Chain A
Amino acid sequence: MSGVAHTSVRAGTGQSAVGESPEREMIATVTEDEHAAALDASILVRRGDFVLDVRLRVEPGEIVALLGPNGCGKSTFLHAVAGLLPLESGTVTTAGRVLSHRDVGREGAKAGPGRSHPTVQVEPEHRGIGLLGQDPLLFPHLSAMENIAFGRRAQGVPKAAARRESLDWLQAVQLPEFSERRPAQLSGGQQQRVAIARALAAHPSLLLLDEPMAALDVQSAPQIRLLLREQLGRSGTAAVLVTHDVLDAIVLADRIVILDDGRIVDQGVTTEVLARPRNRFVADLVGVNLVTGVLASGELTATDPEGNTAMRLSDGRLLQGHASAGRVPARSRTGAPSEKSAEAPAGRPARAGGVVHGVFRPAAVRVERADVIREAPGSASAAPSSPGAPEAPRFLAVDNRWAATVIALEPVSGGIRIRTDDPAGILAELTAVEVAALDLEPGCCVHLSVAPGDVAIHPATP
């Protein structure tokens, strides 16, 4: 069943992919560009069968979160930007300075005269790009203060000045009394504070954050997250944040980029991307059901946020919902709405037949027993609705109501998630009491329904 659902999601993301045509003539544009981006990367990297093809621009002071499933190419992207991996082709510039460049088909004779530029690959230590990972990696033989001063000393700043700066940084990360401590004498959270100070004290033109909160315990992670937000804001450092944690993205990032299988499949203002999932990854991240289909009739416009509308799923089911095309004010790092994104309409109007996504929370799905006869869990897989069986979708006469068989019950925080054999992979979430009252088990036949008011429909293309 999940296979069916996955295919339909794929079809959706294919159309929603925000792929500018890969124009790789950035050197020319960069030199003319008055307003140079903190990072302008157009990267093609091949590692075995895996291809990373990403173009990403980060404005000065902006924080961009890079999210995606494991193996989507997040780390490869960071390594390519940091100069630890050579590009197959593309360009990496920070603040107008070319750090990596390699023409497409440089070895071939295709590169036209006058259009090809010499290959550039600046060494990592000369890139001015900081890196902060989940492991603080403080130099064990240096004190906290010496660790922070290391970058400035390496840049040739005199010892006394570097010392003064690093004492200021210790103040900023709220560890003023720990300047002489060795890393081994600091807790994990304290070490990460020092690592943040060390990375920012070197004045990087761009900071790469590779899951900086992943190794911290539940107490210190929120503190470090806030500290990072505060210090990035204070120093105005642009950053690319790779994370698995949606909270990191919400708290820290101005913009979200979703990467899947080496390509950007969705991107935009954080709240906008999370509010209107366009692929299974984001839907799982925010914990909602995502179905893909076409608009059944009429027009889905930004000016009609209340309008009721309907979409038809690929299996023929009709889903009633309401248009979700209103404006979502973007919250910038300081908490104030930024005008640029507030004025932008959330989506282009989709016409009848246009690809749309429907989104509703698992908790909004109602579950009723359709049978009283119990089937043994083992026979559930042999039921006529088993995967691959070309069976007609079992939508009932009423819209937004379908028959399904329970496959599994999984505990989630605050309730129990019900996984069914529904072809769109719709999940329901009930409280433990409700599950007990319905006497639900794997193999039960149920009716799932969702109120039109709980279904938000938005265009697949932002």
Chain B
Amino acid sequence: MSSALRHTPVAPGKIPRLLYIPAVIGLALLTLPILGMFLRVDWRTVPSAITSPEAVSALLLSLKTASLATVICLIVGIPLALVIARSSRRLGGVLRAVTTLPLVLPPLVGGIALLYLLGRNGLLGAVLDAGFGIRIPFTTAAVVIAQSFVALPFLVISVEGAFRTAGIRFESVAATLGAGRWTVFRRITLPLVTPGILAGTVLCFARALGEFGATALFAGNAAGVTRTMPLAIYTAFNGAGVSQDSAVALSLLLVVVAIVILLLMRSWRGAPQ
């Protein structure tokens, strides 16, 4: 009898009707602002605003730094995710909490923290400055570090979840077939979590692209060096006051870039199946 119950298909869409009201409000909260922005766009000024040298330089800087930050996150994030996933319950919990900290921290606080670590008088910054003459704050490197700091948790969390779901059963089988640890990692562990890695990469890149608070504090707002798209938008919006239209146009550009990347990732992910 229980097996009959188990196999009875549940008709889709049977949820309490009352729930549709908050669901629609939630959807509106997410889409209406963007729609409103599109409606406010002064389409005559868009071409000049987004082809202006400032806009192009900000966009290129954003793409460059966000891509670099994503690569760094992948290089350190996948091993970190694997370590967390294979840790004991207790240690794994601690590591997971530490990893998620930047996620719940306001980015501005992250910027201040980075400044106190890598600033000229910071813990590590003083050593770098005195020993090697390296100054990180207010450079493009600072932008990449700030973006990695805020984006890494997104990658680690989604990849770690994928590692845990995949489990170690396939790895054990591979070991009984004579595969060493590297072979297992390369040929079994990584391929099994590819969807998780792709999802994590998209989240990570999007977060890096939109990063503002930590960048503003730790890297500043120097045109061509640290002024990424979000900072350019803020500057345009806040600066002279006359160029609010160009701020909207730049926002539009950022939205389009984000959507294009999302679609590219989707199609790539869908291809192997």
Q: Do the two shown chains form a genuine complex with each other?
A: yes
Q: Which residues of A contact B (CB under 8 A)?
A: 82, 84, 123-131, 135, 137, 139-141, 150-151, 154-155, 198-199, 202, 204
Q: Are A125's CB and B179's CB within 8 A? A: yes
Residues of chain A contacted by B175 (CB below 8 angstroms) = 123-125
Residues of chain B contacted by A202 (CB below 8 angstroms) = 176-178
Can you spell out 5 A-B residue pairs with CB atoms less than 8 angstroms apart? A82-B176, A124-B172, A125-B176, A127-B176, A154-B187
Other A-B contacts than A125-B179, A130-B177, A137-B170, 14 sampled, CB-CB below 8 A, are: A82-B176, A124-B176, A125-B181, A139-B170, A141-B191, A141-B192, A151-B178, A151-B179, A154-B187, A155-B178, A198-B177, A202-B176, A202-B178, A204-B176
Q: Are A150's CB and B177's CB within 8 A? A: yes
Residues of chain A contacted by B194 (CB below 8 angstroms) = 141
- Mark contacts of B173-196 with chain A using CB atoms, 8 A cut-off: 1 yes-contact digit, 0 otherwise: 111111111011001100110100
Asked whether any CB of chain A lies closer than 8 Å to the CB of B90, the reply is no
Asked whether any CB of chain A lies closer than 8 Å to the CB of B89, the reply is no
Say how far B38's CB is from chain A's closest CB, in angstroms: 41
Given contacts A125-B179, A137-B169, contact A150 B192 (CB under 8 A): no
Residues of chain B contacted by A124 (CB below 8 angstroms) = 172, 175-176
- Report the Cα distance A198→B168, complex, angstroms: 18
- Report the Cα distance A122→B170, complex, angstroms: 20
Q: Closest chain B residue to A154 by CB distance?
A: B179
Q: What's the dominant secondary structure at chain B's contact region? A: helix
Contact of A151 among B170, B177, B188 (CB under 8 A): B177
Residues of chain B contacted by A154 (CB below 8 angstroms) = 174, 177-180, 183, 187
The size of the chain B interface, using a CB distance under 8 A, is 19
Given contacts A137-B170, A139-B170, A150-B187, contact A131 B176 (CB under 8 A): yes
Q: Are B172's CB and A84's CB within 8 A? A: yes
Q: Are B176's CB and A130's CB within 8 A? A: yes
Q: Are B169's CB and A150's CB within 8 A? A: no
Say how far B227's CB is from chain A's closest CB, in angstroms: 43
- Report the Cα distance A158→B16, complex, angstroms: 60
- Report the Cα distance A346→B219, complex, angstroms: 88
Residues of chain A contacted by B169 (CB below 8 angstroms) = 135, 137
Point out which of B177, B184, B194 has the most chain A C-beta atoms below 10 A from its C-beta.
B177
Say how far A240's CB is from chain B's closest CB, in angstroms: 13
- Report the Cα distance A307→B188, complex, angstroms: 64
Point out which of A139, A140, A155, A198 has the most chain B C-beta atoms below 10 A from its C-beta.
A139
Contact of A129 among B173, B176, B180 (CB under 8 A): B176
Say how far A72's CB is from chain B's closest CB, in angstroms: 23
Residues of chain A contacted by B177 (CB below 8 angstroms) = 130, 150-151, 154, 198-199, 202
Residues of chain A contacted by B173 (CB below 8 angstroms) = 131, 137, 139
Q: Are A139's CB and B172's CB within 8 A? A: no
Q: Are A139's CB and B174's CB within 8 A? A: yes
Contact of B174 among A127, A141, A150, A204 (CB under 8 A): A150
Q: Closest chain A residue to B272 by CB distance?
A: A141
Residues of chain A contacted by B174 (CB below 8 angstroms) = 125, 139, 150, 154
> Which chain B residues in 137-177 approach chain A with CB under 8 Å?
169-170, 172-177
Given contacts A141-B191, A141-B192, contact A125 B178 (CB under 8 A): yes
Contact of B188 among A84, A126, A135, A139 (CB under 8 A): A139
- Report the Cα distance A130→B192, complex, angstroms: 22
Residues of chain B contacted by A151 (CB below 8 angstroms) = 177-179
Q: Closest chain A residue to B190 by CB distance?
A: A141
Residues of chain A contacted by B183 (CB below 8 angstroms) = 154
Residues of chain B contacted by A130 (CB below 8 angstroms) = 176-177
- Report the Cα distance A150→B175, complex, angstroms: 11
Residues of chain A contacted by B180 (CB below 8 angstroms) = 125, 154
- Report the Cα distance A198→B176, complex, angstroms: 11
Q: Closest chain A residue to B181 by CB distance?
A: A125
Say how far A187's CB is from chain B's closest CB, in angstroms: 19
- Report the Cα distance A126→B194, complex, angstroms: 28
Residues of chain B contacted by A199 (CB below 8 angstroms) = 176-177
- Mark contacts of B35-50 with chain A using CB atoms, 8 A cut-off: 1 yes-contact digit, 0 otherwise: 0000000000000000
Q: Are A128's CB and B178's CB within 8 A? A: yes
Residues of chain A contacted by B179 (CB below 8 angstroms) = 125, 150-151, 154
- Report the Cα distance A139→B194, complex, angstroms: 14
Residues of chain A contacted by B192 (CB below 8 angstroms) = 139-141
- Report the Cα distance A150→B176, complex, angstroms: 11
Say how far A235's CB is from chain B's closest CB, in angstroms: 15
Point out which of B183, B184, B194 has the most chain A C-beta atoms below 10 A from its C-beta.
B183
Closest 3 CB pairs of A and B: A151-B177, A154-B179, A125-B175
Residues of chain B contacted by A141 (CB below 8 angstroms) = 191-192, 194
Residues of chain A contacted by B176 (CB below 8 angstroms) = 82, 124-125, 127, 129-131, 199, 202, 204
Residues of chain B contacted by A131 (CB below 8 angstroms) = 172-173, 176
- Report the Cα distance A125→B177, complex, angstroms: 7
- Report the Cα distance A82→B176, complex, angstroms: 8
- Report the Cα distance A131→B179, complex, angstroms: 13
Residues of chain B contacted by A155 (CB below 8 angstroms) = 178
